[in-house]
Structure 1
C-alpha cells in the first residue's frame, strides 16, 4: 500500500499478508520526498513498468499541471522524482491529480490517467481547491517506455465532474472505479461517492455506471483482489478514516473490513506475486 498523510505529503508504504491489515513500514516514516515542483507528493500510485522496475506516479500539489515520476528496483530506494508536464501544453489546464497507469495488452502500451480541470477562459488561477469543487474530467496519455508520451487527451467524460479514476484488468475487459465529484464537502452531501464502469478498449465505449457502491463523501478508490473477490477501498477524507466494500461478481457490493495506517490518505494497493523476494521484506 502506498499513501501520503495530511501532515507529511511524501511517499509512505505499508504491507499486508492478507489484504485485511496493512502495517506501516520504515517505522511509519516516508521512503521518498519530492524536491521538484511544489515539493508535495500526494496520491502515490505504484505499478510494474516495461523495464521490470516499479514506477511511482504522484500528484505535484493542488495546482500543478505536471505529475511526479520516480523508479525503484526494490520499493525501498527510489530515483529522484522528476516532473512529467502532462498538461502544460493544454490551454487552461489548472491541475493534474491522482495519476495512475495500467497496461494495455493488445496495444502493448501503458495508459496513464489523471484528473484535470480545464478552463481556457480562466487565467487568474485563484481557486479554493480544498473546499470548492471544480469541473474535472479524466485525462490521459499513452507510453511504451515511460520516457516519451503521446499528447494528453480526454479519457473519460460522463458529462459531470469526476476525479480519482483507477483501472484494473479483469479478463477481457477493464474495470474502472471513479469518484462522482459533484456535491459539496459536507457529511450530508449528495454525490461525492464511488461509481464503477468498464470498457474493453481505450476510448470506450464505457459500460453504464454501477453505483454508487460506496457511502459519501469519500475519494481515492483503489481496487485489488482478496480471497477470490474484488475489494474496493476509499478514503473518508472528512472523517480521517478508511472504508471498504467487496464483491465477487463486480455488480453487487457489500461492506467489508480493512485496517490501514493511521492518517493514511488516498492509498493505492499493489499485489506482489507469491514468488517475489520483495513480498514482505519491509515487515518489522
Structure 2
C-alpha cells in the first residue's frame, strides 16, 4: 500500500524536536552550547535499490547542508521484533545523554499492528547500548514514530506516538522516567480530524506543535502555553503548507544564533526530492516561506528525519567515529533538485531521487593529467571517468593515454554564477567549462561576461 494510503488509513506519529538549549527550553537540566546538528533517518530509494531500515546519522553545521556518516550506512540495527525500524527519533535527556526510539517496522507492511517500539541508550551517539523493545498499549492498532517531550510539571518524559483510538487517527502519549517502564496510554492531541506527525518548538513562553493534517496531506501548526494532553486541541492557528505532492513528518529546527526557524517536511512520494523545507523569522505569526533546493541538501535517501542540536565536541567525535563519505555528488545551480550522473555512459543531470542511485556518486581524485586538477571517477564503475570527446561529456574507461588523461581532467574555480559554488575548467581546453545543456553534459566556452544562464549551467555544488 502506498505511504499516503497507509498513513491516511492507519495514522502516523508525532515528531517532537526537543532541544536542551533552544527548541524546547524545559527539555534538559543542563543547557548545552549548540554548535551543529545531528540528523537520524532511515533510507529508501525510488525503486528499492536502497531499503535500509536501521538508524542512519548525518551531521550539519547549519541544519541545511548535511554530511552522511558511515558512508550513509546504518550505525545500529534492531535485532528483535520485525528486525527493522522506521521513523527514528533522537532525544537528549535531562542528563545530556541520548535515547533513541523508533517504529518497529521493516519495509512497508502498513497493516502491521505493532504495540512495541525499539529503544536504545547512547552517551554520545558513537555507541548504542541497552537495546530493548517496550510495549505502549494493547489496542488493535500500531505505535508509529515514537518521540519524546519532557514535561517539567510531571517530572516525566512523554513518549508521543501515532495510533488510532477507535474513532480516528490521533497522537497518544505514555509517560515514563526511564524508557523501560511506561504508564498507560492516553490521547495527547485530537483536534477533531485525522492527524499524524508533528514537531514541537518553544519560544517566548509558548509551545508550538506542527503536525500533518491527513485529509489534504498538509502541515499545520497549533500552540499552547502547556504541554499537557489536550492542551493543543483548540490551538490550531496556521494555514496549511504542502510540498509538491503531499507532505508529512514535520520537523522544526531553529538556526543556531539566529532568529530563524526551518520547517522540514517529508514528501510522502519520492518526487522533487524527499524533503521540502520552509523558513520563518516569526514563529508566533505561523507563516512560512519555501526554501529553494539550492539552499539545502538532505542525506541521500533520507526519510522521516529527526534533528537534534549537538555541541562542537559531539560534532567532532561523530565525524571521527563514523567518518565522512568517500564520494561526492554534484548539484546543479539552476536546477538544484538535479544532480550530475551518468546514464548509459552519457553524462547528464537528472532530478533527484533516481535509481540506479550510484550513477550520481563520484570519487573526486587528483587530476589524471595534473594533480592540481580533479577527475571524476564513477563509484559504480571504478576505472571509468567523465571525459569530453568532441566537447560532449560521457563516462569512459581510462585507456592510459595522454589524450584521455587530459580530456578527463578539470580545474576547480569559483562558481561562475555564484562564488560560493564551484565551476570546472577543462584542462586541455582552458576557455571551456563543464556545463549542462538540455540536461546533457558538455564543455563550452564560458566567461564572466557570458550570459547568466550559461554561467549558471556551468556552476555546481560539491556535496553529498
> What TM-score bracket applies, with the shorter chain setting the length?
0.7 to 0.9
Scaled by the length of structure 2, what TM-score is found?
0.53
Give the Cα separation in 1 of the matches to 2:279 and 2:296.
10
Q: Secondary structure at the match of 1:33?
A: coil
Give the Cα separation in 2 of the matches to 1:247 and 1:3.
24
Give the Cα separation in 2 of the matches to 1:208 and 1:15.
32
Report the Cα offset of residue 273 of structure 1.
3.6
8 Å Cα contact 1:235-1:242 kept in structure 2: yes
RMSD: 1.8
Q: What are the Cα deviations for residues 158-217 of structure 1, in whole angstroms up to 9, with x where unaligned?
A: 1111111222333322211111112xxxxxxxx111111111220243213312133340
Aligned residue among 241, 244, 250 for 2:274: 241
Q: What are the Cα deviations for residues 33-59 of structure 1, in whole angstroms up to 9, with x where unaligned?
A: 111111111101101123432100110
- 1:26 paired with 2:70, answer yes
Alignment partner, residue 117 of structure 2: 67
Give the Cα separation in 2 of the matches to 1:246 and 1:79.
36
Aligned residue among 253, 270, 281 for 2:288: 253
Q: Secondary structure at the match of 2:71?
A: helix
Alignment partner, residue 157 of structure 1: 190
8 Å Cα contact 1:115-1:165 kept in structure 2: no
- 1:176 paired with 2:209, answer yes
Report the Cα offset of residue 87 of structure 1.
1.9
Alignment partner, residue 214 of structure 1: 242
Scaled by the length of structure 1, what TM-score is found?
0.85
Report the Cα offset of residue 220 of structure 1.
1.1
Alignment partner, residue 98 of structure 1: 145
Report the Cα offset of residue 264 of structure 1.
0.5
Highest Rg: 1 or 2?
A: 2
Q: Secondary structure at the match of 2:129?
A: coil
- 1:225 paired with 2:269, answer no
Give the Cα separation in 1 of the matches to 2:121 and 2:287.
37
More helix by share: 2
Report the Cα offset of residue 80 of structure 1.
4.9
